Structure 1
């Protein structure tokens, strides 16, 4: 009976697959290639037409020859299913990807946490995992802790090690620890089985360093040379580090056991209180290290750079007048100092009523460096904050020409289109911004404003609630939500939101008075 049951299932699946292929060939007969269907499916997803995206991509997949395109199709269908949400369907798409590429991953920054959970479930369900236990012992049969364990060159932990999440397959195993010879072997990890490895590490003698010294006694300038001397075992390989800034700089053995290395300070080098560390390489990967006495520092800043750093420090302390003075002087020394133009614009923007000066210096920066995204984005933001939407539009278009997937630029575009009364375009631009960054409270707030203007108050409530959830301490978002609640005659909900507004620390006195007045009106 079981055999018969499997046959029936097989036939039914065959019929379903055949039907799907017939439908796909039907699309092809109408002149739509697999790539056409793929492009239409991807476009539909971008437009938020998730069911159409799924239909198109599922028909396109049998005709896509490139693995990358098939993976993109399955991933997009998985994301589309999550919009309904149909988690099991999404898991199926992720499983198809993992069968093609077991190393496939999702970007944890750009991907929704809910999707990441479903993807992890798919990995656990679809990938063949096994385990490995590694124990390292010495020649005297003593357990060695802290030996690093690598599979195919990737560090997976230290001994004693137990892992149950290793993808089944063949691996190059390497175990090493300072002072011991490395253990290497080729191993096979089977699905749902645990491989036990007991490795014997043979102890080797560490090289000896008697001393490490250097000749840098004063703050270093560009062009200065640091001389480092290491005394130790002869016939070895020696290198030295400048703290974490420069690693494994070469040294030469100038006489038995005496090693010398040089480093010439570059114009871009900037470091302070660094320790010089000498290393001597021994047999079987052993390495001895010794710090030199006396820390080293550089003073490589030009006058314009030094003034820029002073201006930056003043900005961080909120001393904008001092920052402006320093940055003026920096630009006098170097009129083509792009970063100084941008920082000076920021300083002016922090001073009320000085945004025109900000615009002047940002335009200077863009004239010097046309594609400087920092200058362009700040210029667009200042225009929008001051209601200059017409001036902001060409700047935002330029940003999108440089980087089409800029979430903030799409948000700016949505705000500009809203100001012009182009509400459909505003919604599309803001939705695009959220596809690129789902965590922007301000974009949800802007969507709420658009829907409120369109008298789609239920939609406005949803967007405002999301903005408040993401940024609960922003008065503007809570106040907007409370106002719409009141318009909908949901007075208790409005009352609660305005009460929470009064709990905010950064509420201005004027805002506080307005909220109290509204609460008083609701109590009547």
Structure 2
């Protein structure tokens, strides 16, 4: 999937550190970090400002103040406090805050999701999944939570149950290409290639510029003995991201496998040098296609 140079948002997402959407970040520059919040909203704004600067102690201080400024039973600031604690590697404290929030509001979704993440990291997979399911059932229109449940079930060796939850996500938000892409990828992992291609087609109709989706489609086509379409998918992926060496190498291999020697030579001439990361991706790709890595 082609993307710009990684920024703080990419790193935060990788390590599951909470960050704000762009429209909220724009207002943070106006926050006077030397002041003390006069109400919960101001305290939370200060907490978010320090959180996004990586000053977790200051962020936690302001979120604690916000909690005292909220009405009894209002868990909004408490959830933010727990998130800041988790980001600061203070998971036990975060867990306790999430637990307090759940006790205050049994039907609240956010603290259950946060607690689920902590339980997962500590190896309590069953409890983590149970909480995620409770959160999803409490928010029946939330497709994202259903994908979260599906991922947890997949990682726990329950592919059929994962598929059921992913199907719900697609039904709730059919306009979101990610849901179709997730379903397609999961179906590929289950060997249900024709169905996977249908899901990937739906994803590509919504996100035609995503080179990664063409790579996934190439796997499905190759498995279905449709080499012409598999090659076309790789060519399109290269057009979208010509710098991804792994895709070029995969195309060369597909040409050679189908005895298109001249095409393979031409493709190899323009192929970028593969680094270790490209080689690892290529190895995985070829194995998925049922081909012996070189």
Smaller-chain TM-score range?
A: 0.5 to 0.7
C-alpha displacement of 1:353: 7.3
Gaps of 5+ in 1: 1-216, 223-265, 274-296, 315-321, 515-520
Q: Could you say which residue in structure 1 is the equivalent of 2:196?
A: 426
Q: In 1, distance between residues paired with 2:233 and 2:181?
A: 14
Per-residue CA distance 1:430-479 (angstroms, 9 max, x = gap)? 21211111122232122111110122112101212333444566676455
1:171-186 equivalent positions in 2, closer than 5 A: none
Q: In 2, distance between residues paired with 1:458 and 1:497?
A: 21
Q: In 1, distance between residues paired with 2:45 and 2:110?
A: 20
1:261-410 equivalent positions in 2, closer than 5 A: 270-272=44-46, 299-301=65-67, 302-311=77-86, 313-314=87-88, 322=89, 324-335=91-102, 336=106, 337-346=108-117, 358-384=128-154, 388-410=158-180
Higher helix share: 2
C-alpha displacement of 1:376: 1.4
Q: Could you say which residue in structure 2 is the equivalent of 1:437?
A: 207
8 Å Cα contact 1:327-1:340 kept in structure 2: no
In structure 2, relative to structure 1, the CA distance for the partners of 1:452 and 1:492 (3 Å cut) is same
C-alpha displacement of 1:386: 6.5
Q: In 1, distance between residues paired with 2:229 and 2:281?
A: 31
In structure 2, relative to structure 1, the CA distance for the partners of 1:367 and 1:427 (3 Å cut) is closer
Structure with the greater relative contact order (CA < 8 A, sep ≥ 6): 1 or 2? 2
Match of 2:257 among 480, 487, 504: 487
C-alpha displacement of 1:352: 10
Q: In 1, distance between residues paired with 2:100 and 2:80?
A: 9
In structure 2, relative to structure 1, the CA distance for the partners of 1:422 and 1:272 (3 Å cut) is closer
- Please provide the CA RMSD for this pair: 4.2
Q: TM-score, normalised by structure 1?
A: 0.35
Count of residue correspondences:
223
Q: TM-score, normalised by structure 2?
A: 0.58
2:253 corresponds to 1:465? no
Q: In 1, distance between residues paired with 2:139 and 2:277?
A: 41
Higher strand share: 1
C-alpha displacement of 1:413: 3.0
2:271 corresponds to 1:501? no
Q: Could you say which residue in structure 2 is the equivalent of 1:450?
A: 220
In structure 2, relative to structure 1, the CA distance for the partners of 1:509 and 1:384 (3 Å cut) is closer
